[in-house]
Structure 1
């Protein structure tokens, strides 16, 4: 009897006999932490976020400047021509003058500027937390991009194995047709299955290239190969396995939610600033002037009999009180606007809080579901493997047709891809849950790195170890005939 086509045999064929099989494993593959570190140094979005924070942080010294002394200096150069028409004759004189002045103003009571300063500090804290959220998001983005490559590579590996299986099925159909054991329909069906699998393999290869290109965009570095995930990675429920505990942690530590709290604080201080527009202001002022007496306004009136010659000095010290009475409704309108902005900010914070609660609960459920799904998907590989072998036996004895065999093969390789998808979903949903709770840190990537395999070969390692051993056994001729 002809050897039954199995997943393990197809994998062995795909990794050893086809022209497009992967190259031998090379050393020096890039790990997850290295990719993240390169992203921290080279990611353009993070650099832009840091620059934005640097710009926003300047609002604090700008607002504080309104509470500090203001010192200015200046000079005036004048050329005055005077012509006096008298009953006797015309009298004219020309005088040039130069004066200097220095002015000092110190706000004593400026409620609007004080609240503006408080609003600026709150905005700065909001910007700082937003930057931290961006930095934390880069951790997740690095993991998502990294594991997208591994997912694409595993998909390509399973697609290669599927193409190998369909190729063997086509060869077998041709052999059976040549000896009269089947008709041309079987050959055509097998040919169609093989052509489809070949097209899928081409698309899967492009997906791998696209995934590597995403790594370039993230880090501005090119990578020939990356380390893969071992199948020994523990698939465990989240700790604590209590959705409420995760939600409570998110309410306290989620960076975006904390930033929204400071946004509300800034809006409240801005409202106080607008209301203070109705309050009086008090400033201490001092001025010193020195220069030509004409420039300072000390020239004597004509006929006064007094003459001032040379330079003059003037020193002024006092308090300035300003009481706003009416500004055309500007201040009242600004107060109403500030009320609406505060309400908008509070509603945005509430919307964000609800979204975070929803995401946290959903991700908690997702991780628990992933734990069960990974085990179920792995078992489905075994079940579909057995189903395929039973279908092949039925085909050999005439109780099943070629279409049944091809469908069974498709189900088997679909289960392989579903298993690997479930593994990567579990890893990423864990990280997303920690991000939602505000606890995601680079140490989480360090922990994952302990389960990466430096000599990872996607064409073999996309299968669990027990199935990989079965592939090796079949390749050595120990499989069942």
Structure 2
């Protein structure tokens, strides 16, 4: 038993030393790293760049198109029984400019512009998702730090209890079973300390994965050494009506901005598809110069300026299909917008109620901790006076440790729920 206890103590010490060389950062510093390196944000930015180039591509339809071509070839011409053979070269320059296409191009440009707006909103959504995930991981790490403190305190209490049991046994006041029970409790407390240290390492690993950085530099969070009771007593909750919060979320959530932009995109795409029923008018100019030293009939120079009208009278129902696709996409984006509003209402309501619940839980857990502390002190005094056995002290200690653990969980749940409410309102950082 003593060898096992010694091994657990050494393991605890090794775990507690793992983060000595880590760089300590506060929440804002960690968020800065995540916003620069998170892979989801980077992917959203690449998508925005794609939409930017698509907009440039759509606008290019209004720019003139210039082409040049040159060729050289050998000709063998037979006419009226006379054969001519020789080389010829030609150079051709041509240009065209769109004049009017009944809104097909302008609506295509608008669709690309609104797609870019939707992509920008998607970046904001990715950033807010990342901020929420980082905050949750950050508070989870702080929770694990506090749980280690609770576990250390449990070890200290059990060490003191073992010392007392040994003294009472030597004095003949208590039996050997008290010493054995105290040793068992101490061993279990040290095992719990090892487990909480493992939990901390796992929580840190999750944070590193969210940062999106390939740096080998070890990162740790700055820990507030204040007692959990002091931290819990310092919290306050703002009294704001739920309906006001929901309306605020409707104004701020980037998801709604995204679907508003997509609705505009699909309206413009629909108008562009309808314009395919109408002709396209453009102007073109060309210059051609053909030379041959061997065949005089091939020598020619030609210049032309033309006003062109192109009307696709039948395209195999392509125009009709494009129109129906655009209309279906428009209907889909409208439904997605309405569904997103319902989801936001649910998010805000759930976050609001969860925050209130965690606030009430903190108040109850503070009371429970106070009562369990007094109960533990009374049980310890009764044990010293010989009025109870070690079992009552152990039960009181377990209730005390449980109350403190619950308070730690309630406090950091409150912080996480605060972050979730901010996220649901669209006001994260």
Question: Which residue of the partner structure matches residue 319 of structure 2?
Answer: 331
Q: Which moved more, 1:65-74 or 1:243-252?
A: 65-74
> Structure 1 pair 232/402, CA: closer, same or farther in 2 (3 Å)?
closer
The alpha-carbon deviation at position 126 of structure 1 amounts to 0.7
Give RMSD over aligned pairs.
3.2
Question: Which residue of the partner structure matches residue 408 of structure 1?
Answer: 396
Provide the rounded CA distance (Å) in 2 between the counterparts of 1:215 and 1:254: 25
Question: Which residue of the partner structure matches residue 122 of structure 1?
Answer: 114
8 A Cα contact 2:259 2:337, kept in partner = yes
Deviations 1:95-126 (A, max 9, x none): 22111112212122233322221110001001
Question: Which residue of the partner structure matches residue 70 of structure 2?
Answer: 75
The alpha-carbon deviation at position 155 of structure 1 amounts to 1.0
Question: Which residue of the partner structure matches residue 236 of structure 2?
Answer: 236
Deviations 1:279-337 (A, max 9, x none): 22222222221223799xxx8xxxxxxx6464x22122222222222222222222222
**5+ residue gaps, structure 2:** 1-11
Q: Of the two structures, which has the highest relative contact order with CA contacts closer than 8 Å and spacing of 6 or more? A: 1
Question: Which residue of the partner structure matches residue 378 of structure 1?
Answer: 366
Equivalent residues in 2 for 1:36-75 (5 A)? 36-75=31-70
Provide the rounded CA distance (Å) in 2 between the counterparts of 1:422 and 1:388: 22
Equivalent residues in 2 for 1:349-368 (5 A)? 349-368=337-356
> Structure 1 pair 257/193, CA: closer, same or farther in 2 (3 Å)?
farther
Question: Which residue of the partner structure matches residue 99 of structure 2?
Answer: 108
Q: Which of the residues 422, 435, 441 maps onto 2:423? A: 435
8 A Cα contact 1:81 1:93, kept in partner = yes
8 A Cα contact 1:30 1:227, kept in partner = no
The alpha-carbon deviation at position 186 of structure 1 amounts to 4.5
Question: Which residue of the partner structure matches residue 471 of structure 1?
Answer: none
The alpha-carbon deviation at position 73 of structure 1 amounts to 1.4
The alpha-carbon deviation at position 250 of structure 1 amounts to 0.6
The alpha-carbon deviation at position 48 of structure 1 amounts to 3.2
> Structure 1 pair 224/137, CA: closer, same or farther in 2 (3 Å)?
closer
Deviations 1:175-201 (A, max 9, x none): 555555555654554444333322221
Provide the rounded CA distance (Å) in 1 between the counterparts of 2:322 and 2:180: 78
Equivalent residues in 2 for 1:188-267 (5 A)? 188-217=180-209, 218=211, 219=213, 220=215, 221-224=217-220, 226-228=222-224, 230=226, 231=230, 234-238=234-238, 241-267=240-266
The alpha-carbon deviation at position 93 of structure 1 amounts to 1.7
Provide the rounded CA distance (Å) in 1 between the counterparts of 2:370 and 2:340: 44
Helix, strand or coil at the partner of 1:319: strand
Structure with bigger helix share is 2
Provide the rounded CA distance (Å) in 2 between the counterparts of 1:267 and 1:319: 32
> Structure 1 pair 401/334, CA: closer, same or farther in 2 (3 Å)?
farther
8 A Cα contact 1:363 1:429, kept in partner = yes
8 A Cα contact 1:215 1:222, kept in partner = no
Provide the rounded CA distance (Å) in 2 between the counterparts of 1:143 and 1:318: 65
Question: Which residue of the partner structure matches residue 25 of structure 2?
Answer: 30
**5+ residue gaps, structure 1:** 1-17, 300-306, 442-481
Question: Which residue of the partner structure matches residue 90 of structure 2?
Answer: 99
Matched positions, count: 408
Question: Which residue of the partner structure matches residue 158 of structure 2?
Answer: 166
The alpha-carbon deviation at position 391 of structure 1 amounts to 3.3
Helix, strand or coil at the partner of 2:240: coil
Provide the rounded CA distance (Å) in 2 between the counterparts of 1:193 and 1:109: 87
The alpha-carbon deviation at position 211 of structure 1 amounts to 2.7
Helix, strand or coil at the partner of 1:417: helix
Q: Which moved more, 1:264-273 or 1:286-295?
A: 286-295
Provide the rounded CA distance (Å) in 1 between the counterparts of 2:99 and 2:37: 48
Normalization by structure 1: what TM-score?
Answer: 0.75
Equivalent residues in 2 for 1:3-14 (5 A)? none
8 A Cα contact 1:281 1:323, kept in partner = yes
Normalization by structure 2: what TM-score?
Answer: 0.84
8 A Cα contact 1:366 1:429, kept in partner = yes
8 A Cα contact 1:74 1:101, kept in partner = yes
